[in-house]
Amino acid sequence: KNNLTVVNEFFLLGFQVSQDLRFFLFSVLLLVNCCTLCGNLLIITLVSTSKNLHTPMYFFISQLSINDILLTTIIVPSILPILLTNGGTISFIECITQFFFFCASEIFECFLLTVMSYDRYVAICNPLRYTSIMTSIYCVKLVLICWLAVFFMTIIDTSTLLMLKFCGKNRIDHFFCDVVPLLAIACSGSQVAELEVSILGSPVLFIQITIIIVSYINIITTILKIPSNISRQKAFSTCSSHLIVVSIFYCTLSSVYVVPTGGQSSTISKSLSLLYTVFTPFINPIIYSLRNQDIIKAMQKAFS
């Protein structure tokens, strides 16, 4: 209650750069946003309509595309007016709502990339049992479990932010409502909030990264044992796209939340945030389409 009475709105500073650079960023982000939506919608449409893409791997890729659209829709529309006006206000409720959906999107991608690693592990290391293990019902259950875990974790993270007290300081040095800049302007409760987020997030993140690393160690070991060069290359190609997406996602995310930011300027921190909120959803469909013959064939068939 105190939060709502003391601070009713926040002012997002956005990027404190020249007007020409802001207009340039506006144009680039608008173009990237359009390409992101078109690219991910194309992936979803192809997976839904092409029978040869009705497999667990492409089902998970379509879920990733849905999540990327969600993330883009949450973040980019709020950035564009901020760039035009050199900052903008956002109500307390809108800020918390934006954080809720942003947090849900990022946590879901962490879980989904872990599930996709497990899927590739079963496909490469247990090919004879793959169809019996990764059934359609089992894949849907995995995604539903991911969303249930996401909902639980997001509710806790958002509730933690709601317990913060904001006493007059309402200028957020960012382009959206993220946990780090919000903790920076809170007048009390920030240390407890940081501890709660760490206690909840660190073990889950550790388990996810461990599963991914162990899966790929087994995958690479199995692939290297394949005698045929053609079969080995085909096996590598089915995993390389996912490995690239995982690397980009976790590297950009860790650069903001794991690596100490004490020596970073706010501009560098915001630029890094742009990578995982705008660049990653844009590049994901490109990686999966350019490096995947099944999707390329489905695209050729759809446009022929």
pLDDT, tens digit, for every residue of 104-153?
999 999 999 999 999 999 999 999 999 999 999 999 999 999 999 999 99
Average pLDDT over residues 276-291: 87
Q: What is the pTM of this model?
A: 0.89
So what's the pLDDT on residue 262? Answer: 53
Provide the pLDDT for residue 263. 47
- Please give the pLDDT value at position 130: 94
Tokens of 121: 């592990």
CA angle 297, 279, 26 (to 5 degrees): 115
Positive or negative, the Cα torsion across 231, 232, 235, 240?
negative
Q: Per-residue pLDDT tens for 198-209?
A: 777 778 888 999
Who contacts 56 (Cβ-Cβ below 8 Å, separation ≥6)?
A: 119, 134, 136, 139
Domains, the chain, with CATH or none? 2-303 (1.20.1070.10)
Both tokens of residue 10?
Answer: 């926040």
Amino acid at 55: T
CB 46 within 8 A of CB 303: no
What the block records as the tokens of 112 is 């989904």
